[in-house]
């Protein structure tokens, strides 16, 4: 079967750096997405990786290794507003999105 694994919850300190990992096993691969979801709100798009390597966008970076079935989202200079759930999703060979359960990130002062 297809599955996406990511930690359920992580805690980090304001101003620090945190890395959220995502491993996947899918039938085919056509890209990996990261979304941010604040409690009670809709998910919003953060990043998209289809080739191996690092994509940087401001304080957020996303890395992909297709051979390892692995991605991470790196958040730098953490702010309290970064407290949210981070969802990893993979588009499989049939262009269907498979979603992880999300990682709840708690930022402490």
Partner 1 sequence: IAGITQAPTSQILAAGRRMTLRCTQDMRHNAMYWYRQDLGLGLRLIHYSNTAGTTGKGEVPDGYSVSRANTDDFPLTLASAVPSQTSVYFCASSEEEGESGELFFGEGSRLTVL
**Contact with partner 1 (CB under 8 A): which of 45, 53, 57, 81?**
45
Are the C-beta atoms of residues 49 and 90 closer than 8 Å to each other?
A: no
> Per CB under 8 A, does 64 bind partner 1?
no
Burial class (CB in 10 A: 0-12, 13-18, 19+), 66: middle
Direct distance between the N- and C-terminal alpha carbons of the chain, in angstroms, rounded to an integer: 40
> Per CB under 8 A, does 69 bind partner 1?
no
> Per CB under 8 A, does 98 bind partner 1?
yes
> Per CB under 8 A, does 12 bind partner 1?
no
Residues that bind partner 1 (CB under 8 A): 4, 31, 33, 35, 41-45, 48, 87, 89, 91, 95-102
């Amino acid at each position: 079967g297809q599955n996406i694994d990511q930690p359920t919850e992580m805690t980090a300190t304001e101003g620090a750096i945190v890395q959220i990992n995502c491993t996947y096993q899918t039938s085919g691969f056509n890209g990996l997405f990261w979304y941010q979801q604040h409690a009670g709100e809709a998910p919003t798009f953060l990043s998209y990786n289809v080739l191996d390597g690092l994509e940087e966008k401001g304080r957020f970076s996303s890395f992909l290794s297709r051979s390892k079935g692995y991605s991470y989202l790196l958040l730098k200079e953490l702010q309290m507003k970064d407290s949210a759930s981070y969802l990893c999703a993979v588009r499989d060979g049939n262009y269907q999105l498979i979603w992880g359960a999300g990682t709840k990130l708690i930022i402490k002062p």
